[in-house]
Amino acid sequence: MTRAIVYRFLQAIPIFLVVSVLVFLIAHAGDGDPVTNALASTLPQESIDAIRKEYGLDQPVLVQYALWLEHLMAGDWGTSLVLRTPVFEVLARSFGNTLLLAAAAVAVCLAGGVAVGVLSGLKRGSWIDGAAMLVIQVGHNFPVFWSGLLLIWVFGVRLQWFPVSGMYDMRGDQDWLDLLHHLVLPAIAAAVISMLILAQLVRAQVIDIMGSDYLRTFRAQGLPRSLLLRRHLGRNLLSPVINVTGLQVGYLLSGVIFVENVFNWPGIGTQLYNAAAGKDYPMIQAGVMLVTGCFIAVNLATDVALDLLNPRLRNGGGPA
Amino acid sequence: MNLLSIRNLEVEFDGAGGPQRVIHGIGLDLGAGEVLAVVGESGSGKSVTAAAILGLLPERDSRARGSVRFEGRELLGLPEAALNGVRGTGIGIIFQNSLSSLDPSFRIGEQMTEGLRFRRRLDAASARAEAARWLDRVGIRDVQRVLRAYPHELSGGMRQRVMIAMAVMGRPKLLIADEPTTALDPTIQKQILDLLRDINREEGTALLVITHDFGVVSYLSDRVAVMRAGVVVEQGATRDVLAAPAHPYTAALVRAVPDSAEIRRAQRQLAAAPVSAATPASPVAPADARDDADAVLVLEQVSRSFRLGGGFWGKGTEVAAVRPTDLRIRRGEILGLIGESGSGKSTLARLAARLVDPSGGTIRAHGVDVTRLRGPALKAFRRRVQFVFQDSGASLNPRRQIGAQLADALTRLDVAASARAARDLAVQALERVGLAAAHLERYPHEFSGGQRQRIGIARALAAQPEFVILDEPTSALDVSIQAQVLDLLRELRAELNLTFLFIGHDLAVIESLCDRVAVMERGTIVETFDAGALHEHTRHPVTRRLLEAVLPLRRSAGEDRRSAAA
Amino acid sequence: MNHAVTTTVAADDNDNDNDGQHAFRSAARGRWHRLRANRLALLGLVVIVLALAVSAAAPWLAPHDPNVAEPQLRLAPPGAPGYWLGLDAQGRDIFSRLLWGGRRALLASIPPVVAAVLLSLALGLLAGYHRGRWPALIMRVIDILFAFPMVLLAIGLATALGPGIWAVALTIVFSATPYLTRVVYAGVRAERDKEYVEAARACGATTADVLLREILPNVATAAVVYGTTLAGGMIVFQAGLSFLGLGTQPPDADWGRMVAEGAQVLVLGAAHVATAPALVIVALALAFNWLGNGLRDVLDPRG
């Protein structure tokens, strides 16, 4: 079992490296180099050359990559070409905001997805199930940004229940209650599609489990439904739910980036998008690596959790 | 008053084409402490009946009508809460597939104590102690290990014992056993049946045994009900029904069971005689130069190992499926290869057919070394030696028409020069096994299991081989279909001068079909003998175990006495 | 004895049709019937065909030039004379922009998905069939890619290649391929160890023969069904990328871009600007979804 976990850690490393290479290459894919491209129109050639030397861009690519990676690991993420401030400062703050929103989205996704899925699966064939399936079918195809806009329109503009922009009220207390208030709509918008996907899966699993042979065994012993649901349905749902939620993390992160745009949430998505527009390579590279690293970490955690839950790995053996 | 009384039971399922009646008004009676067997082929409705008794039919899409009385009380239509009062304590049930019938996420101990803790409000320790007692009662030795284990860590036989323990823990008056031994090896099967009989005698629990195996019926039951297509065609005392079946269907089924005097004689004689340590059975008769040219295939010290596990980083472990072993197959014979699961017989069959390369040893066909053949020479070999697979469902590509599959086999082997020629040969092969040219355009799922097996045989025959290896070709078939396929094989051997290697696990089937028998255990052939010599006391202990596990049909008490005198 | 065998089998045989060719044609006709029976799938097919036709004919169908603005009429609601769906914030005809935007949306999403289906079939077949470490490693990489937030990739590509149709198309290929490859891989793994594959190899089939003639028919259906459904999802995704500004650049018409522009005037009460393109996106995505579901039923020979 520990061996399996260690293997997982080991496997994560090459992935990280591969992504770093890709990111680096993409940044240097265009003609010329990042600095020249970004600043060619604004500065005289000598200044550009000086800056290039400063950034080490006159060295061969492999050396540049090695240097960059080394700095990245050490925490020195370079200086933004556009903002002239250390990338680390800028990203750390916005990434924190993104994580907050992402965590809220995961919570909504889990709660909503499991609730809808279980209800719909247990009441299969009834109107509840039919309605849920319809909502899932249609909502699945709603673009995230559209869901966000709808929510803004209905709950923000018309009903005025929730704020529609930013993290805090500029003039208010800026306490956690205010934060929560601002968090609701964006979290729901980001979570909707993943929630529906999870609900669909949970429903299928519930139907599977309720029709399974082992449930029949315990039913045949005269055990009441509530016990069956609590024990057997509950535990057997755990793995698939974690599995799918883990897989949805990427999708959720994508959704969060869209939502940041729609709701003006000061997260890393907006940051990266601006950086892309301004061709701010150090920012983009560091930003993408940050998100990737975080994402790989979440994947790892999910895999490890699944391994821990897997009875086939627990006692470490096959049939006697 | 009967313990269980079923009258006019009807069950309907909602399918794609509307409601379909599956059980058409059946009646069954079972007295306290009695053993009733319900026997039928697949699709007869016997399992549905068992589920209907306890209200375990799928909640939607199904309806049951009629009367099911248990201890005088009507069960059909009872609300779930009331039914729960009967389930487990009044009527217990065990199912066929023990792996899927246990929750894979809980340990055995946790699953066993669930019922106890709920019903009798026992605390964890007492419940566990009671569970341990029952595991011991059903013959499990390492009780603590089993309690801590997960279902997938136990063997099939042990899991079935656990299921039985779980079912009788509530001390039910009636135990329903739905195909309790179908997935098990013959020796384990006998042990489980003995356990059930034991429980019946000592606890007084009545048994309702659902099965397709007449051997089980004969071994265990007092009375039997024969079902076909949702109807009970005959019911009565087991001995009487088996001896003189009133209904033609029953008669046909009983006739189809491979049952021979030789087996019974062998069982009687070997039960009496001890294993003679003085004459160690030699696996294969000593080699003969004359034999070699006559032998269709000779395997000498062939072995095969597999590497399991591993992955990207590790190397995994090596498992020897076949240890160095010898086998000689003579021209024109039907040689049976028997062994329990894990004995390596399937691997050996594949080695003989060169579907798998041997790790060591040599294989010779008519004196020519074919061990490391490749390319055109291998194809020539394949044209002469063909293979029929066990699972006809999986051995035919579900998405291609069978005509295309047969034709492809021919073109790949370079037997047919053109598509036209391939088609003609395919039609010829189909007709030989009793099918028709019209079947060429059909897909596998449009055929029954027996027909698919015939198609598999046709595919092997199409290349006009001289030697056909069949891997458990009838294990998944109903007994009447099995009889037809065995008859077909006998015909083919006679008409086409074929040699067969028949792999199986049922000694009765092998004995009825084959000229010689080879017995395998743990990767080696432990002995070979003529089928008629089954009763000789030089037989190997493994052979004896297999023999003991055969359940003959006892047709009447008189018959037993008569053959004992012979 | 032969006699007994034939009689038993004849009892099972209820086929009166002796001509094989008729059988094939009626199999195809049967599929069409089943597709027709699934009304949602049919509706989806109709919508898709309509969208394709209308987009292709945009130059002739559009009543106005999509990029020409009538500033006096800006934000006019639907129903304005000559402007079915109204005008946007800059006074351009929404209906015409929808038609022209359709070309980009469909061009940017469908060919990449088709490419992804082909690529995933190749990858999935090869990785699923061969044993050893490399297939496992490749699938591990694919697994990671599968769950990777694709927007990041889009941003990266847009930075390198400049925003536009190539960045979007490549992103879609990168998004779709891992998902489809996983589906194909799982299918191939399930089939690889089955006996019919062994039987084919036993007859001397080469690896290519086995992959293409035996295994492919069993996994192609799943790839096509999932690919169809995925196409719908990619239309949405592509719109999202445009919404963020990574796709088509202004002033060219593009549905995602239109929604973004409409978002800015949402608070002013002009909901129609964003709604029209959004509804079209959802409708087309749903259509692909329904078609995919219908195809699943139809292509399974156990129908």
**Sequence ranges of the domains in chain B:** 4-105+150-267, 331-361+370-536
Structural domain contains residue A301: no
To the nearest whole angstrom, how far is the Cα of B152 from the nearest Cα of chain A? Answer: 6
The listed range with the strongest mean pLDDT (A17-31, B99-113, B298-312, C193-207) is B99-113
**A315 vs B154: CB contact, 8 Å cut-off?**
no
Is C121 within 8 Å of C182 (Cβ atoms)? no
A213:B114 CB<8 A: no
Q: Which residues of A touch C43 (CB under 8 A)?
A: none
Domain assignment of residue A239, yes or no: yes
pLDDT of residue C6: 29
Tell whether C208 is within 8 A of chain B (Cβ): no
Cβ separation B312–C136 shorter than 8 A = yes
Q: Nearest-CA neighbor of A21 among A53, A80, A69?
A: A69
Is the domain of A182 the same as that of A221?
Answer: yes
Per residue in B323-382, pLDDT (tens digit) is 999 999 998 899 999 998 888 999 999 999 998 889 989 998 888 888 888 888 888 899
Looking at residue B143, its pLDDT comes to: 93
Please tell me whether residues A107 and A233 are part of one structural domain.
yes
Both A198 and A52 in one domain: the answer is no
- Answer yes or no: do A312 and B60 touch at CB < 8 A: no
> What is the rounded average pLDDT for all residues in chain B?
87
Nearest CB partner across the interface for A220, out of B58, B93, B106: B93
| Helix ranges, B295-370 (H) | 345-352
Residue B514 pLDDT > 50: yes
| Position A207 in a domain | yes
Q: Does B115 touch chain A (CB under 8 A)?
A: yes
Amino acid at A168: Y
Of B545 and A29, the one with more pLDDT: B545
Chain C residues closer than 8 Å to B459 by CB: 199
Q: Measured between CB atoms, does A75 come within 8 Å of chain B? A: no
Count of domains for chain A: 2
Q: Which pLDDT belongs to residue B314?
A: 60
> B4-105+150-267 in CATH: which number?
3.40.50.300
Residue B165 has pLDDT above 90, yes or no: yes
Strands B516-521, B360-365: pairing is unpaired
The pLDDT of residue B376 is 85
Residues A109-119 have a mean pLDDT of: 93
The Cα B324–Cα B360 span in angstroms is 7
User: Which chain B residue has its CA at the smallest distance from C193's CA?
Assistant: B394
The pLDDT > 70 percentage for chain A reads 87
User: What is the value of ipTM here, to two decimals?
Assistant: 0.82
Q: Which domain holds residue A240?
A: 88-277
Tell whether A286 is covered by a domain: no
User: Would you call B502 helix, strand, or coil by DSSP?
Assistant: strand
pLDDT in tens, B194-229: 999 999 999 999 999 999 989 999 999 999 999 999
Nearest-CA neighbor of A283 among A27, A64, A99, A42? A27
Of C155, C232, C274, the CB nearest to A272: C155
From C66's Cα to the closest Cα of chain B, the distance in A is 49
pLDDT band at C15 (very low <50, low <70, confident <90, very high): very low
Smallest Cα distance from B352 to chain C, Å: 12
Residue A236 lies in a domain: yes
DSSP annotation of B13 reads E
Mean pLDDT of chain A: 81
Nearest CA in chain B to C137: B312
> With contact defined as beta carbons under 8 Å apart, do A241 and A114 qualify?
yes
Report how many Cβ contacts below 8 Å link chain A to chain C: 123
Report the Cα–Cα distance between both ends of chain B, in Å, rounded: 43
B153, A10: Cβ pair inside 8 Å?
A: no
The CATH class that applies to domain B331-361+370-536 reads: alpha beta
C232 touching A (Cβ < 8 Å): yes
Q: Are residues A218 and A140 in the same domain?
A: yes
Does the pLDDT of residue C4 top 50, yes or no? no
pLDDT at A143: 86
B58 touching A (Cβ < 8 Å): yes
Q: Is the entire prediction scored with pTM above 0.90? A: no
Q: Is the pLDDT confidence value at B534 over 90?
A: no
Give the model's pLDDT for residue C25. Answer: 47
Q: Which residue has the tokens 């999403």?
A: C109
- Predicted local distance difference test score (pLDDT) of residue B279: 46
The per-residue pLDDT for A171 is 66
Asked if A250 and C149 come within 8 Å (Cβ–Cβ), the reply is yes
Residue C9 confidence (pLDDT) above 90: no
CB A102 within 8 Å of CB A253: yes
DSSP secondary structure code for residue B167 in this structure = H
pLDDT in tens, C288-303: 988 888 887 777 755 3
Pairwise CB contact (< 8 Å): A254 & C158: no
A108 and A21 assigned to the same domain: no
**Cβ-contact C268, C75 below 8 angstroms:** yes
Q: What's the pLDDT tens digit per position in B306-326?
A: 887 655 556 677 888 899 999
User: And the tokens for B394?
Assistant: 């999986």
Instruction: Give me the sign of the Cα torsion angle B177, B182, B183, B188.
Output: positive
From the list B86, B152, B167, the residue facing A319 with the nearest CB is B152
A314 part of a folded domain? no
Q: Are A171 and A62 within one domain?
A: no
| Predicted local confidence at residue B199, as pLDDT | 94
Asked whether residue A300 is domain-assigned, the answer is: no
**If you average pLDDT over residues C230-258, what whole number do you get?**
85
**Cα–Cα distance measured from residue B343 to residue C79, given in angstroms and rounded to the nearest whole number:** 81
A53-64 residue pLDDT tens: 766 666 677 777
Mean pLDDT of all residues in A244-273: 84
Average pLDDT over residues A249-269: 85
Cβ separation C281–A29 shorter than 8 A? no
Which of C4, C218, C301 has its CB closest to that of B445?
C301
Q: Which of B344-348, B447-451, C13-17, C182-186 has the lowest mean pLDDT?
A: C13-17
- On whether both A92 and A229 belong to a single domain, the answer is yes
Q: Rounded distance, CA B138 to CA B34, Å?
A: 20
Q: Please check whether residue A305 lies inside any domain of the structure.
A: no
- Say whether the peptide bond before residue B186 is cis (omega within 30 degrees of 0): no
Confidence of residue B566 (pLDDT cuts 50, 70, 90): very low
The pLDDT, as a whole number, for residue A145 is: 85
Residue where a domain terminates, one of A262, A277, A292: A277
